[in-house]
Amino acid sequence: MDVFDAIRGRRSVRPETMDPDRPVPRDLIESLLEAANWAPSHGLTEPWRFVVFEGEARKALVEAAVSTLTDPGEPAPAPLDPRRLKMEQKMLVPPVIISISSAAPPNPKILEHEQIASVAIAVQNLHLAAFASGLGGFWTSGKKAFDPRVARFLGLEPGARCLGFFYLGYPTAPWPEGVRGAWQDKVQWRSR
Ligand SMILES: Cc1cc2nc3c(=O)[nH]c(=O)nc-3n(C[C@H](O)[C@H](O)[C@H](O)COP(=O)(O)O)c2cc1C
């Protein structure tokens, strides 16, 4: 696939529209993670960190996410609580969920925003490779991703940050349309 076609055609495919019964082969997931690993980073710190959740392991991640629906110290929502059911129904459709984290900067020359920028590039690599492989992907963040209870569940080191979750699966709905404003509106030219 031509790189411009991949960039233009990549879309966020909603997790609810992914095929829950079609597993993503392990070697394909590995090839996407290898694409992610080619992202650039200041000082070659390679700060992207992923945890791949498949099968039953997804339920523990969803439980950690559900626990963020109540205040710290409060019990998690009850089994039939609509907020829990909504989150479970959404998060358990895709066969694969990958947590996205950035490592703490290893020295003062590397700034946190540089680490986060590199992780975002890694995720874009992964997403483009997923699209080129016929897979749908979706980066979601929201409050749950930034909650210390989720960081603890993921086992993040001090200074590391969870930046969200990447849902991965085969699409079952028509490929979404892309929408963008004109690139010209975001660019200034200074030639003299
Ligand atoms: C860092 C990041 C966080 C995102 N978080 C959410 C989210 O929490 N909820 C959501 O609906 N979409 C989220 N998205 C997906 C965007 O909605 C999506 O990329 C945007 O609508 C453009 O669509 P496209 O990816 O198909 O071009 C996120 C995207 C990025 C890059």
What number is the average pLDDT over the span 166-181?
A: 98
Distance 7 CA to ligand 1 centre (A): 15
Query: Which residues have C-beta within 8 Å of that of residue 190, sequence separation ≥ 6?
Result: none
Determine, yes or no, domain membership for 157: yes
Q: Is the CB of 178 under 6 A from ligand 1?
A: yes
Instruction: Determine, yes or no, domain membership for 10.
Output: no
Q: Is residue 162 part of a domain?
A: yes
pLDDT at 116: 98
- Domain limits for position 113: 19-173
Instruction: Give the pLDDT mean for 173-183.
Output: 97
Residue that the structure tokens 């080619």 belong to: 38
How high does pLDDT run on average in the chain? 97
* Res 161: pLDDT: 97
What residues form DSSP beta bridges with 53? 97
Please check whether residue 29 lies inside any domain of the structure.
yes
**Residue 102 maps to a domain:** yes
For residue 35, give the CATH number of its domain. 3.40.109.10
Query: Among 99, 135, 139, 180, which residue has the most ligand 1 atoms within 8 Å of its CB, making it the best to mutate?
Result: 139
Ligand 1 atom with the shortest distance to the CA of 11: 26
DSSP of 114-144? HHHHHHHHHHHHHHHHHHHTT-EEEEE-SGG
What letter does residue 159 receive in the DSSP assignment? Answer: T
**For residue 99, what are the β-bridge partners?**
51, 165
Please, how many CA atoms are within 13 Å of residue 135, restricted to the half-sphere of its CB?
24
pTM: 0.96
Kindly list the distances between the CA atom of residue 183 and the CA atoms of 86, 121, 123, 186, 187, in Å, as whole numbers in the listed order: 36, 19, 22, 5, 7
Mean pLDDT confidence for 141-146:
94
- Whole-number Å distance between alpha carbons of 101 and 163: 5
* Cβ atoms within 10 Å of 1's Cβ, excluding its own: 12
Residue 21, both tokens: 């019964």
Q: How far is the CA of 190 from the centre of ligand 1 (A)?
A: 31
In a domain, 12, yes or no: no
Has residue 181 been placed in a domain? Answer: no
Mean of the pLDDT values across residues 7-36?
Answer: 98
Confidence of residue 134 (pLDDT cuts 50, 70, 90): very high
When divided into structural domains, the chain yields a total of: 1
- Would 188 be classed as within a structural domain? no
